[in-house]
Amino acid sequence: MSHILTISNLTKKYGSLTAVDNLSFTIEKGNVYGILGPNGSGKSTTLGIVLNVVNKTEGHFHWFDGNTSTHDALKKVGAIIEHPNFYPYMTAVQNLQLVCKIKQVTEERISEKLELVGLLDRKDSKFSSFSLGMKQRLAIASALLNNPEILILDEPTNGLDPQGIHQIREIIKKIASQGTTILLASHLLDEVEKVCSHVVILRKGVSLYSGLVDGMNASHGFLTMQSNDMEALKQALEQNPAFGSFKRQGEYLIAYLKQPMDPSEVNEFLFQKGIVLSHFVKRKESLEEQFLELTKQK
């Protein structure tokens, strides 16, 4: 698989504050990546560095095979950072024409991309008359003009209303289904969970986890149970080697699995022991729980 972006030991310091600390990861073609982290964890700074607008303090990064200069490589990249930035006095089309000139691509695709984000009927309206959602969609259209190898989105749904968020997510999914590599920075977990296959988790500029979203979950889930005789239930479960720790939560007993086990097996096992359950749920930790678990470790 070919590399699109390689970052190694990247560090950025603002005075005494280290915004990005010795960060390394690789982005490969065809995957959808998420950079996840609370506000101020260095997501935007990292993207700023690879996008040529923030100067790095130490470390390296290179685009593609490393033979092109950053600004030439960026012509094959589509990126949106935080706010949609356009010239307010130009119309949507005029703004996109300018982007075409900068990226040195033909202006033929402007209508196609405006269609994709649903702005074709507003193409001759001034940018300043757009709502935030429309601005954000125009930014996506602009980032797609060069049919980029990778689309970078930094908090694309920030500040949007539910419809706007939904529209943006639909567009992202549509683009991802066409095989474009996507790098999505966000502090919204479900956003990353819904869209991404790989994830890098940052906290205070340090990478805590980097790999598959599914791989983040090392555990095999947990069971929430309730029975008439809670003590007997617990004793029965402790005899079974599949269970690790137990926790009482109100009227429920929570048992964590050490190895994969089907709920029906558990039910059968308990039934043989003469225990009847009145409540039984098997769940995996949500990304949110895993994320909170990860980010509080250090």
Partner 1 sequence: MLRLLNIELHKLRYNRAAKVISIIYFVLITFIALISSIEFNFGDFHFRVADQGIFNFPYIWHFNTYIAAILKLFLAIVIVSMVSNEYSYRTLKQNLIDGLSKKEFILSKFFTVLLFAAVSTIFIFFVSLILGLLFSDYKEIGIIFSGLQYIGAYFLKLVAFFSFCLFLGILVKRSAFALGFLIIWQIVEWLAYGLMKWQIFKDSEIADHVSRIFPLNAMANLIKEPFSRLGAIQSAATQLGENFSKTYEVGFLNMLIVLIWTGLFMYWSYAILKRRDL
Which residues lie near partner 1 (CB under 8 A)? 14, 48, 51-55, 69, 71-72, 74-75, 77, 79, 81, 83, 85-91, 94, 97-99, 101-104, 142
Nearer to partner 1, 137 or 282 (CB): 137
Query: 293, 250 in Cβ contact below 8 A?
Result: no
Question: At closest approach, how far in Å is the CB of 51 from partner 1?
Answer: 5
Nearer to partner 1, 95 or 167 (CB): 95
Question: At closest approach, how far in Å is the CB of 103 from partner 1?
Answer: 5
Query: 126, 88 in Cβ contact below 8 A?
Result: yes
Question: At closest approach, how far in Å is the CB of 48 from partner 1?
Answer: 7
Nearer to partner 1, 91 or 295 (CB): 91
Nearer to partner 1, 65 or 268 (CB): 65
Strand order in 17-28's β-sheet? Answer: 17-28, 3-14, 58-63
Beta carbons within 10 angstroms of residue 52's beta carbon: 13
Question: At closest approach, how far in Å is the CB of 146 from partner 1?
Answer: 8
Question: At closest approach, how far in Å is the CB of 20 from partner 1?
Answer: 12
Structure tokens at 160: 């949007």
Partners of 126 in the β-ladder: 91
How far apart CA 93 and CA 138 sit, in angstroms, is 10
Q: DSSP label at 233?
A: H
Sign of CA pseudo-dihedral 135, 137, 141, 147: positive
Phi, psi of 244 (to 5 degrees): -95, -95
Nearer to partner 1, 127 or 243 (CB): 127
